[in-house]
Amino acid sequence: MSLHSPKEIAAVAIQSGIAKHKASVSYLLILGFMAGAFIATGFLLDLHVINQLPADWGSFASLLGASVFPLGIILTVLAGAELLTGNMMTLPIAWFARQISGFSVLRNWFWVTIANFLGSIAVAWFFGHVLGMTEGDYLKKRWQRPLLKCMPIFCMLLFLLSAVTGWSASPYGCRLPVKDVVGKIFGMWFPVMAFVALGFQHVVANMFIIPAAIFAGSLSWGDYLTNFVAVFFGNAVGGAIFVGLAWFMAFRPQLTAPTEIR
């Protein structure tokens, strides 16, 4: 398994942002819908694992649930889907490098946000509500924690660390041969598991779990809007400033990576 330095990975992130800003609206909507559905599927699995464990297992049950949540991120990355939180780092760092415009960043975020929401809410409605997979006891343990208990910035630091470690296990982050898939999965798994276990807020994950609670009659769309605004901007600051800008200022990466990057 190859291992690349943070400076090399920063160059990969810039190249990825350049590639993403060229994507058509139809591309972003289709792959963004897929990413939203994948993240929702990972969260759905998390809920079912936690619900089936004894109540006296306490935080260990939450850890086991968090350990299966990364399925959504793994499916997103390996399938080449478009996830808003990843784009909150790759597009801004390309902007800081003066390779794309600020409008390109906002354009990508706008369409990917819509697509992620549609994919997430489709899973929440059909699998969660219609098939009853988030009804009844399934949400009770999840809502023992306040919606805004933890700062969403910290979620992005761990989430983007998962992307970074995934890139470090592959040759410049390009499309992977089979032998590199295992390294990429392990690189992503533990940081994602950590932010879920700690209860940090992820804007796309909340596009599934809060509407699922709304369909179950536990929350309102006003609750969702309040959460969305706070978590969106918290994740954006975490991705664009605490990772993207910090890396750009620290490494001043050179664009030497191949152009075919996911």
Q: Is 149 helix (H, G, I), strand (E, B) or coil?
A: coil
pLDDT confidence of residue 244: 87
Report yes or no on 1 lying in a domain. Answer: no
pLDDT confidence of residue 168: 53
Report whether pLDDT(194) > 70. yes
Report yes or no on 257 lying in a domain. Answer: no
CB atoms within 10 A of CB 228: 17
The model's pLDDT over 216-259, given as tens digits with 9 standing for 90+, comes to 888 899 989 999 998 898 889 888 988 889 889 988 876 554 44
Report yes or no on 256 lying in a domain. Answer: no
Report whether pLDDT(261) > 70. no
Report yes or no on 258 lying in a domain. Answer: no
Report yes or no on 195 lying in a domain. Answer: yes
Taking a C-beta distance cutoff of 8 angstroms, is the pair 87, 114 a contact?
no
The model's pLDDT over 109-119, given as tens digits with 9 standing for 90+, comes to 999 999 999 99
Q: Mean pLDDT across the stretch 96-122?
A: 97
Q: Which domain holds residue 133?
A: 6-251
More confident call, 148 vs 92: 92
Q: How far apart are CA 105 and CA 165, in angstroms?
A: 24
Report yes or no on 260 lying in a domain. Answer: no
Residues 6+ apart with CB under 8 A from 54: 61
Q: Mean pLDDT across the stretch 22-36?
A: 97
Report yes or no on 14 lying in a domain. Answer: yes
Measured on CA atoms in the order 118, 122, 224, 240, is the torsion positive or negative? negative
The model's pLDDT over 38-69, given as tens digits with 9 standing for 90+, comes to 999 999 998 888 887 777 777 788 888 889 99
The model's pLDDT over 136-152, given as tens digits with 9 standing for 90+, comes to 776 665 555 444 444 55
Q: How far apart are CA 72 and CA 8, in angstroms?
A: 26
Q: Mean pLDDT across the stretch 84-101?
A: 94
User: The CATH number of the domain where 198 resides is what?
Assistant: 1.20.1080.10
Query: What is the number of domains present in the chain?
Result: 1
Report yes or no on 259 lying in a domain. Answer: no
